[in-house]
Amino acid sequence: MAFGYRVTLGSDNSAWTGDRIDLTASEFTPGLSATAAAGGASSTVGGATWKITGTLADGTTVTNQIMGGIFQTDASGALYFVPDDPVASISAAVVDTSPVYTLKETVLGSGNDTFGSPTMTSATPDVIYAGDGNDLIYSGAINGPGAAQDHDVIYGGAGNDRLYAQGGVDRLSGGAGDDYIEGGYGGDIADYSAATGNLNIKLPPWGGTDFTDEQTGGQGKDHLIGIDGIIGGRGNDTLIGYDTAGTDPDGSIFTNYFDGGAGNDSIDGAGGSDFLFGGTGNDIIIGGVGGNRVSFNDTITVYEDQIFGGAGDDILYGDDVDGTNAGGGDDLIQGGAGNDRIIAGAGHDVVFGGDGNDTIYGDSTVAGGSPAGNDTIYGGDGNDLIQSGLGDDLVYGGTGNDNITNNGGRDTIYGDAGNDIIYSAGSGVVHGGDGDDMIQANAGNSASLYGDAGNDNMIGHSTTNDLMFGGDGDDVLTGNGGNDTLSGDAGNDRIYGYADNDLIDGGTGDDSLYGDSGNDTVHGGDGNDLVYGDSSSPGQPNTGNDLLTGGAGNDTMVGGRGSDTIDGGADDDRIYGDDTLGTDTLGGADSISGGAGNDFILAGFGNDTVDGGADSDTILGGEGNDLLHGGDGADELQGGTGNDALYGDAGNDLIFGGTGADTIYGGAGNDIIHGGDSATGDEDNAGDLLNGGEGFDIFHVGNGDTIDDFNTGAGQDFGDGVRENNDFVNLGRYYNQTNLDIINATRVANGLKPYVTPLGWMRADQADGVLNDISTANGFANGMTVTIRNGGSAIAGRDLTWDNTDVVCFAADALIETVEGPVRAGDLSVGDLVHTADAGLQPIRWIGRRRLGAAELEAHPNLRPIRIRAGALGQNLPSRDLVVSPQHRMLARSRIAQRMFGTDEILVAAKQLLQLKGFDIASDLAEVTYVHFLFDAHQIVFANGAPSESLHTGAEALKAVGEAAVAEIYQLFPELRSDTREPARLLAPGRMARKLAQRHMQNGRNLLS
């Protein structure tokens, strides 16, 4: 609607000096200008200036003020002046001397008027107001095709009029009465916009039978000839175009132009290329059949059908209603506002759904109902239902939660904003757009699916090779059958490859990826991913030789069945060659690389190859003959069952061969090597080959094992009483006091001399290059054979020491009573709590060891150890043989001591007691390691149950510890340089001590009585 001042034209129709303007503004509906093409929307026909006397909107009073404005016509052709400046009221107005108009109007009065003639040749556009009466009107040129044509507007008014537009694109309104309207050449329009009833009009083609429209709104019964378009009224109109193809007399191809106007209209373009507007109301629009371009007698080219629904819930058909006619054209359909139903039909159509929840079919409503066309469809706002049909279509869902189906063809689909559902049966491209979309590839050629932003659910088809990109958000992608390419992109995605050979990339985020059956390639990407080569459920019948890469992040990777290749990538990964439980017995020969990070790898069943890569990895070989490399870092390797090859490589590694004949190489670093099983601690009997490599390595051997490079690394020192600076093998579990008693019983029974110490026995056993004395023939329940070489030849027995075997002479093997129970002296550490006779539990403040080899003992026989036999002190003490240094003092408690020293408990050096039974110089020991420890005070401790002293820092005692140890003691306890510490008991001097021993021997008394 608009507001303006009605203009009354002067009677001369030329000078316009008689024009008058109403002094009160009126509301009007703008119509079409006489110069606008059919279907145009402009009602502006010119401009002018008026001399205004009155009051402006801001309250200013004006007199004869020249004011510009525009002239507009309303739907009936009446002329209005619309000022440029707001005017509150007008008291007088006179047209200016130079008005400008772009139309020529002819105003006829009431009565039966006749205007023009059949031979009229004017090419100037006419606007003719016939007024009331039975009028005969001719307008425009009739010179035929190619001649200059005018575009006329004729208003017949009331009465039974005969209107002849002749040439041009004309608009004719018969008004009330039974009118005869003939359009002539060009695309002519019958205007019923003023009608209030329900129109029922069917147009005949040029040359067909005259058609009488049936009207109920008081307009009359009109005869229409050569009319190509209708402007409907305000009622519920039915407008039908031409049935058959035809042409105007000038040869122009006809077209239908329909504007339903207000009301719930039904419009059918029928034959021809149509231009259809629904107008306001809930309209049904059918484009009909047409395959031609429209030219309106000029060079303008438009779509074959142009359909505009306007506001309201419309039903729009581009071609025929049932979708079975193959003669559709290229339609332009605009649904406008409301919940529209649009069927574009055959042809290359362009459809705009507009606002509302629209239903749009690119072709027919049924598959195969109309030939395919390459359609362009815009759903617009609202929750739309779109079926693109056959052909290579372009679809935009627009905002809202849309449901879009591609029935075939190479479509490009954009779901746009909203939570969309998209089904694609073609080979095109689908973009879900923003929102949580569901995208599914139906049967057809391979599709490319893009979820874009949002948490999308994307499903491939079982027979196509699909390409899917999840985009941002936590997406679910399912490949189904076919060799699919699935990429989760950003977000925490879940991806299932299912059948065939898929390529899966999780992208960024913490993804869960499942290759399922087929030879899949799965890449976790950034984030802490869960990567399965096969199914997520152990035991499922899925298999394939998969390639898995974890990428950055702490990933969990499971190869599943088949011979898989797995690379964990950066960070701390958990990798399983078969399943996570290790129960799958159908695994393949996997190739696994942990990459950087502290990885956990379970290779599982099959002959697997594993490289832990950088950092500290845990690698379990599982079933099969595996090849395991720890790589850099402090790794743990477990071969499991099978004949495995394990390489610790760089770093301080922990290696378990497991069952089978394993080959183990520790590599660089201080490694711990077990030939047997980590789970039970048992050593198998398969015969493992162990090589520690560089560093100070610890070996745990079982029956049949061979150590190939014992004590060959740089810096080995296996005779200084320190275990940490040499290779070590735990032979103490075999060569100990218990087994010594067994072997000695056999030797004595066979008339052989018993061994004195476990160390001496082990060295004798090594004389032939193999440790094999522990056998059933020698009284043992099971046999044990170990070969120790130092780079090609057997190691010499003398090079097997307490330092590198844990087989001890008794000095280091003495059991000291501690808070933890009896502990070997060689195993004590600073801070250990030791039971003392006088002060209870006391912490060790310093501990030292000194090894004296054969050469040193030969050079200094006074340092040879003293062996105190079990029970030699009385009261069954010591509980077993005890070896001490010569200056080491034992506690004596007797009446003889009381009479000689005035106290019943004294400390006597071991070398002063040699005349007593059970005290001997241990000359059979080729070497000895003395263990010494200090407390805050001199204490009485218990060694093999017998009371004896801790280290006393007297001059003679310190000779046994060595110069370096003395320097260390003085650094820790500088006050000891003055030797002012009180002894725990009276120290018996040498001559008196020997006399004490003599008197005990003469009286048959024990030192502990």
3-class SS of residue 857: helix
> What is residue 544's predicted lDDT score, i.e. its pLDDT?
80
Its pTM stands at 0.58
Residues pairing with 592 in the sheet: 566, 610
Query: Average pLDDT, stretch 797-815?
Result: 74
Q: Tell me which amino acid residue 585 is.
A: T
Does the pLDDT value for residue 156 go beyond 90?
no
Query: Average pLDDT, stretch 533-546?
Result: 68
Query: Average pLDDT, stretch 533-560?
Result: 77
> What is residue 226's predicted lDDT score, i.e. its pLDDT?
76
* More confident position, 789 or 548: 789
Share of the chain above pLDDT 90, in %: 31
> What is residue 952's predicted lDDT score, i.e. its pLDDT?
80
Q: Burial level of 59, CB count in 10 A (0-12/13-18/19+)?
A: exposed
Say if CB 669 and CB 695 are below 8 A apart.
yes
**pLDDT-derived band at 218, boundaries 50, 70, 90:** very low
> What is residue 98's predicted lDDT score, i.e. its pLDDT?
52
> What is residue 507's predicted lDDT score, i.e. its pLDDT?
92
> What is residue 118's predicted lDDT score, i.e. its pLDDT?
65
Query: Average pLDDT, stretch 847-859?
Result: 80
Does the pLDDT value for residue 206 go beyond 90?
no
- Residue 704's φ and ψ, nearest 5 degrees, are 90, 0
Q: Strand runs (DSSP E) across 36-103, as ranges?
A: 44-56, 61-73, 79-83, 87-95, 100-101
**Crossing angle between the packed helical segments 737-749 and 758-765, to the nearest 10 degrees:** 60
For the chain, the domains span 2-101, 113-263, 737-803, 810-1002
Torsion sign over Cα 970, 973, 979, 985: negative
Query: Average pLDDT, stretch 660-681?
Result: 83
Q: Burial level of 824, CB count in 10 A (0-12/13-18/19+)?
A: middle
CA 600, chain centre distance (Å): 22
Query: Average pLDDT, stretch 24-33?
Result: 68
> What is residue 144's predicted lDDT score, i.e. its pLDDT?
39
Q: Tell me which amino acid residue 103 is.
A: L
Does the pLDDT value for residue 511 go beyond 80?
yes
Spatial CB neighbours of 86, under 8 Å, sequence gap ≥ 6: 56, 57, 58
- How far apart are the C-alpha atoms of 23 and 43, rounded to whole Å? 22
> What is residue 434's predicted lDDT score, i.e. its pLDDT?
93
**pLDDT-derived band at 836, boundaries 50, 70, 90:** very high
Does the pLDDT value for residue 892 go beyond 90?
yes
* More confident position, 115 or 276: 276
The CA–CA distances, whole Å, from 515 to 12, 332, 469 equal 90, 46, 16
**pLDDT-derived band at 35, boundaries 50, 70, 90:** very low
**pLDDT-derived band at 234, boundaries 50, 70, 90:** confident
> What is residue 776's predicted lDDT score, i.e. its pLDDT?
93
Spatial CB neighbours of 823, under 8 Å, sequence gap ≥ 6: 815, 816, 832
**pLDDT-derived band at 777, boundaries 50, 70, 90:** very high
> What is residue 369's predicted lDDT score, i.e. its pLDDT?
46
**pLDDT-derived band at 570, boundaries 50, 70, 90:** confident
Share of the chain above pLDDT 70, in %: 77
Query: Average pLDDT, stretch 737-749?
Result: 90
Does the pLDDT value for residue 121 go beyond 60?
no
Q: Both tokens of residue 418? A: 């909203």
Q: Which range is least confidently modeled, 99-103, 821-825, 856-860?
A: 99-103
Segment holding 1002, helix H or strand E: helix 990-1002
* More confident position, 135 or 490: 490
Query: Average pLDDT, stretch 589-603?
Result: 87
- How far apart are the C-alpha atoms of 818 and 367, rounded to whole Å? 92
Maximum Cα–Cα distance for the chain, whole Å? Answer: 175
Spatial CB neighbours of 876, under 8 Å, sequence gap ≥ 6: 870, 945
Does the pLDDT value for residue 445 go beyond 80?
no
> What is residue 263's predicted lDDT score, i.e. its pLDDT?
85
* More confident position, 20 or 645: 645
Say if CB 294 and CB 275 are below 8 A apart.
yes
> What is residue 291's predicted lDDT score, i.e. its pLDDT?
38
> What is residue 679's predicted lDDT score, i.e. its pLDDT?
45
Torsion sign over Cα 799, 800, 805, 807: negative
DSSP structure class, residue 911: G
Q: Strand runs (DSSP E) across 568-622, as ranges?
A: 574-576, 591-593, 600-602, 609-611, 618-620
3-class SS of residue 79: strand
**Fold adopted by 810-1002:** Endonuclease - Pi-scei; Chain A, domain 1 (2.170.16)
Residues pairing with 567 in the sheet: 549, 593
Torsion sign over Cα 751, 753, 757, 759: negative
> What is residue 99's predicted lDDT score, i.e. its pLDDT?
53
> What is residue 34's predicted lDDT score, i.e. its pLDDT?
40
> What is residue 147's predicted lDDT score, i.e. its pLDDT?
41
Does the pLDDT value for residue 455 go beyond 60?
yes
Does the pLDDT value for residue 981 go beyond 50?
yes
Does the pLDDT value for residue 962 go beyond 70?
no
> What is residue 211's predicted lDDT score, i.e. its pLDDT?
42
> What is residue 807's predicted lDDT score, i.e. its pLDDT?
67
Cα distance from N-terminal residue to C-terminal residue, the chain = 132
Does the pLDDT value for residue 780 go beyond 70?
yes
Cis peptide before 204 (omega within 30 of 0): no
Does the pLDDT value for residue 12 go beyond 70?
no
Query: Average pLDDT, stretch 471-500?
Result: 90
pLDDT tens profile 39-58: 333 567 677 788 889 998 88
> What is residue 787's predicted lDDT score, i.e. its pLDDT?
96
> What is residue 682's predicted lDDT score, i.e. its pLDDT?
53
Mean pLDDT rounded to a whole number for the chain: 80
**pLDDT-derived band at 142, boundaries 50, 70, 90:** very low
